[in-house]
Amino acid sequence: MLHWLEAKERALNATVFSVAGVLTAYAASLAILEAGHFETGHVVVTAVWSLAGLVAVGVALQRRSELTLGVAFAWLAVTVAKVVAFDTITLSHTRHGISLAVVGAAVLLAGLARELTARASLTGEGAGAIMLSLPLLLAGALVLIPDDVAGVDGNGLMLVAVGALYTALAAATFVRRDLGTLLWAIGLTVTGYGEAVLLTGVWLVLAYTASAAAFAAVAAASKERRLQVASLVYLVVGAALALGVEAPPSQLLVAHAHPGHGLASLLLLIGAVAVFAWSLAWSGRYRLQAAWVAGALAVYAASLGILEAAERLSPAGVHTDFQRGQTAVSALWATLALVLFYAGLKRRRGLLRGGGFILFGVSLGKIFLFDLPSLSSAQRALSFLAVGAVLLLGGFFYQHLSAQYDERIA
């Protein structure tokens, strides 16, 4: 028996000390409840239990005791269970909100302490504590803050504030790459949702595109490619909002009084894509693809700008102004195709020539599939004349420059 006790001494010590700790906490909790109001006392009990668990985590990390660390995180798990199963059901609105916020902060600090002292990139208990802290803090903040704060949505403010907290922690722990990635992934997700609650329209597009550009710039400066993933996510969401809500393709195909309503959103998106392309210095292929996307968006924005100008400058009706604008759009597309084609021939760049050919094809498709059945006879004739003239110039440049190239080779 003595040999068995000696072999199991460490486990037995941990068990005995844990039982003693639980009994001590129980006695202290009863004393706290005896001393004051029942609901307020339970908030204090939650705070004491959370502090005890946090102190135990600190002691375990200082002594490098995995067993003590496991017991400490288990105690924090018990505290979380107490708050979720008892406080949120029994206590009043404000008091259980405080309990949620207190235990959420303790779990977050415990997870950070574990990760900052761990040799591995991420540990199960540390990462789990950090992720568990998010719903606890959010629930506590949303309970405590009113729905309306000085005319602003209180829920949106709290989401942005909590997201900013995790993002700031990510910046503070940037040297721990995996920990920083976990924190900014959580922070940016919550912040983005909070921005969607607070903002609408072009202001929301501004928030998303500015965030995308900022993360792309930081990624280029710090050589951290993971931040470019965050930038790309913000870009995709901003593009979906700009192209799906603010400036949908229907603005280009159906007559509207203000087809350029979403131009500001498109310009913000183009600027963000340009910054993202600049940040892709490590990959010429991806940078070129992003640049072409920015160029396509610029052509789309210019087309909407032409339609908006036609509506504002022409005294005719909406339908007539729309048809006149479509003729100018066809001429613009064909002219851009000619410029790309000429530049590709002059500089011997196959990609530019290919882009010019594609845009020529798109221009022809537009006048046959849209202008021909939709525009009046006069506007239709102008569209065909404009595109035909540009195609004629394209053929001339192709023959002339190709002949010059053949003479230089000969």
In the chain, domain spans: 22-144, 147-198, 203-313, 330-410
Residues with Cβ within 8 Å of 250's Cβ and at least 6 positions away in sequence, in order, are: none
Share of the chain above pLDDT 90, in %: 34
The encoded tokens of residue 84 equal: 């979720």
**Alpha-carbon distances of 193 from 100, 247, 299, 322, rounded to whole Å:** 21, 21, 30, 37
Place of tokens 């504030």: 161
Gap between the Cα atoms of 284 and 278, Å rounded: 10
Q: Is the pLDDT of residue 333 over 90?
A: no
Lowest mean pLDDT among 2-16, 37-51, 114-128: 2-16
pLDDT in tens, 228-250: 888 999 999 999 999 998 999 88
Count of Cβ atoms closer than 10 Å to residue 160 Cβ: 20
Gap between the Cα atoms of 158 and 149, Å rounded: 10
Report phi then psi at 37, rounded to 5.
Answer: -65, 145
For the CA atoms of 171, 172, 177, 180, the dihedral, rounded to the nearest 10 degrees, stands at -60
The CA R_g of the chain, rounded to the nearest whole Å, is: 32
Q: CA 132 from chain center: how many Å?
A: 21
Report phi then psi at 75, rounded to 5.
Answer: -65, -40
Count of Cβ atoms closer than 10 Å to residue 153 Cβ: 15
The encoded tokens of residue 7 equal: 């072999």
pLDDT in tens, 357-374: 788 788 888 878 887 787
pLDDT in tens, 269-320: 999 999 999 998 888 888 888 988 999 999 999 999 988 888 888 777 788 8
**Average pLDDT of the residues in 58-62:** 90
pLDDT in tens, 115-150: 988 877 788 889 999 999 999 999 998 888 877 766
Gap between the Cα atoms of 135 and 296, Å rounded: 41
Q: CA 59 from chain center: how many Å?
A: 38
**Average pLDDT of the residues in 4-14:** 74
Q: Do residues 233 and 208 touch, judged by C-beta distance below 8 A?
A: no
Count of Cβ atoms closer than 10 Å to residue 347 Cβ: 9
Say what the pLDDT of residue 8 is: 73
C-alpha closest to that of 363 among 389, 401, 324? 389
The encoded tokens of residue 327 equal: 């003729």
Lowest mean pLDDT among 1-15, 94-108, 120-134, 198-212: 1-15
Helix axes 66-82, 93-117, angle to 10 degrees: 160
Q: Do residues 162 and 105 touch, judged by C-beta distance below 8 A?
A: no
